[in-house]
Structure 1
Amino acid sequence: MNKNSESDSRSRLPPGQHLTKKFPVLQKGRIQHIDRDEYKLEVVGQVKKPQTFTLEELRELKNREVICDIHCVTGWSKFDAKWEGISFKKLFEIVQPKETANFLEFNCADGGFTTTVALEKVISEKNILALRYDGVALGDKHGGPVRAVIPDLYFYKSAKWITKINFLKEDNLGYWERGGYSNKADPWKEQRYRRND
């Protein structure tokens, strides 16, 4: 590695993180398997047009490819992860959030995992509902068929196996946040735990 690439790596690596070329697999419980033919994504709550999407309908909406760095609260970071999916902006155009919508709550297939993210944190074009990783359909271990990718936050905010997105007026602490993890989850501020919020 030359000095320029070392400097680039350091500038992309948040404090307390180490770089890995692998993609470690971590989750609350077991890796979930969801039948792709039966899959449905509900989008409900503070929206004008609630929707239920099949996986095929989501594939037809696919409009974004992002290459981003991801940072896990456990301390690893991976550079240049390649994802394809649907921008949240596109989703918002379809469901039309009400003015009272302030947060997105992701509900997942692994029995009780939820996390919330403020709408203003989600709207960036680099944030997507991912359907593909590294050129192939998103596999079970990485949260398929559908997961969030929100690279500016620690990766527990990028929920796996999403089955419902609930637009909320008020924040609602998710699984890890109730256990003491930060609800803000900014890796550049090392907001790993709620005491650092």
Structure 2
Amino acid sequence: MFDTMTFTKILGGFAGAFLVFLLGKFVAETLYHSEVAGHDGEVVQGYLIDTGSEDSGEEEAEGPTFEEVFEAADAGRGERVYNQCRACHALEDGANGAGPYLYNVVGRDVGTAEGYAYSGALSEAADVWTPENLSAFLEDPQGYAPGTSMGYSGLGDVEDRANLIAYLDTIGD
């Protein structure tokens, strides 16, 4: 049933099919993924599909600024947003946790919470916790003050930040 010639034909068929597959893969990579040197020596993609998204010339519509949102901020909603902060921060004067206390934080000098050891990165970023500085910090703590010990990833929604800062502004003197 299986003689040497039949076995050789089957093995040759598989090897031929494999070689055709590899050749097809090589041709596809050459067409779509290769890089070719352009006229000025810069490397350009071998096959480029123009989507037109880069040269649209239109700027994306930006939402309202923080100042506009802060004027209409709701401290009651900010209290609900504060629940995200509660794990590390306390509102009582002098009650530090993993983070410094937030009593009277709006308008306070940066890095002046008594009894809390700051990382030093905050004092390089700002002098006073104005609503604008707090908003920028809460949006992206690591981006605003690289090296800060605050491990929070940030609060992206401008309304949530404004409401939280309005709530924190009611806590204190």
Same fold (TM over 0.5): no
- Structure showing greater relative contact order (alpha-carbon pairs closer than 8 Å, 6 or more residues apart): 1
Bigger proportion of residues as strand: 1
The TM-score with structure 1 as length reference comes to 0.23
| Larger Rg belongs to | 2
Q: Which structure carries more helix by proportion?
A: 2
TM-score (norm. length: structure 2): 0.25
